Amino acid sequence: MSIKTTIPVISKEAAHFQVVPGEVPVLNIRNLNVRSKNAQILKNINLVVPKNKITVLLGPSGCGKTTLLKCMNRLTDLYSELKLDGSIEIDGEDILSGKYDITQIRQKMGLVMQRPFPLPMSIYDNIAYGLKIKGIRKKSIISEKVEKHLREVALWDEVKDRLKTSAQRLSIGQQQRLCLARGLAVEPEIILADEPTSALDPISSRVIEEEFLKLKADYTIILVTHILRQAKRLADFVVFMYYGEIVEYGPASEIFENPKTDILKEYLRVGH
């Protein structure tokens, strides 16, 4: 079975207008292509991400989900072998155009990674780091925000007595919540989460998932996962990717209950 034939016949132009009626778009990706030296990693991606919703990027590993996520805050800059073209608009600014200050664009997005990577400093400083970079100098404001964001991820009560100890001594679940809080502290519009529970035990995973459901009231969340059940629990919208292409995109209910392509049907049936 050739993969090509399973892709829905939507014109590339039309793909861009797949905005669900009634949703406010925050992120608009048009004709995004990513190539490395000898492979095309992302092919003609068109995607509009709606505000205050959880959009899940779903697909088997190696399909380009993580690369797509890294394009959104241009961490792809770190990999000089990657060539990007197309556009990614946030607030009407095309972040790929190079006209805008990338450090400010990155502050519009908080990143949560597969494994927690606490910065090599105290719990307090982990949160304060982004604030100081934003130029906030006043101690009282910083303390206030540290507390606020640690509460936001339900970590405050667990760590309030040891804010000055090294973040690396926290449990891995706590570390991941700290990393989430660290990202929230710069007050982003969007949270980019790359398989945020893959290194965690089931209980910590649940805590993170619950956080996400709460956080979507204030933030837009883009979540990469390959866990089908997690996608079902969290997703408002689902983007199903396969070999660097978006195969299907739509509201979660539609995608899970009424898949159009054979490849997605197969994926949902096997369930991984």
Closer by beta carbon to other proteins, 97 or else 104: 104
Choose one: 2-10, 12-20, 38-46, 73-81; the region binding other proteins (CB under 8 A). Answer: 73-81
Position among 173, 183, 196, 244 found at the interface with other proteins (CB under 8 A): 183
**In the stretch 203-242, what mask flags binding to other proteins with x, by CB under 8 A?**
----------------------------------------
173 binds other proteins (CB under 8 A): no
Specify the stretch interacting with other proteins by CB under 8 A; choose among 42-50, 72-80, 90-98, 149-157. 72-80
- 177 in contact with other proteins (CB under 8 A): no
Beta 245-251 vs 237-242: how paired, if at all?
A: antiparallel
Min separation Cβ 39 and other proteins, Å: 18
Number of neighbouring beta carbons within 10 Å of residue 169:
12
Q: How far does CA 122 lie from the centroid of its chain? A: 25
Judged by CB, which is closer to other proteins: 111, or 208? Answer: 111
Provide long-range contacts, Cβ within 8 A and 24+ apart, for 36-45: 36/79, 36/81, 36/82, 36/83, 37/81, 40/244, 41/67, 41/82, 41/244, 42/67, 42/68, 42/71, 42/244, 42/245, 43/243, 43/244, 43/245, 44/12, 44/86, 44/245, 45/86, 45/245, 45/246
Which ranges of 47-98 does DSSP label H, i.e. alpha helix? 65-72
> Would you count residue 199 as binding other proteins (CB under 8 A)?
no
Q: Which conformational region is residue 271 in: left (phi greater than 0), alpha (psi within -120 to 50 degrees), or beta?
A: left
Minimum CB distance to other proteins, residue 176 (Å): 12
Least distance in Å: CB of 102 to other proteins? 9
Q: 23: which residues sit within 8 A by CB, 6+ positions away? A: 50, 51, 53
Q: Which of residues 78-137 bind other proteins (CB under 8 A)?
A: 78, 80, 101, 103-104, 106-107, 109-111, 113, 115, 117, 119-121, 129-130, 133-135
Contact in structure between 111 and 181 (CB atoms under 8 Å): no
Of 7, 75, 154, 228, which lies in the binding site for other proteins, with binding defined by CB under 8 A?
A: 75
Nearest distance from residue 109's CB to other proteins, in Å?
A: 7
Question: What residues line the site for other proteins (CB under 8 A)?
Answer: 70, 73, 75, 78, 80, 101, 103-104, 106-107, 109-111, 113, 115, 117, 119-121, 129-130, 133-135, 168, 179, 182-183, 186, 192
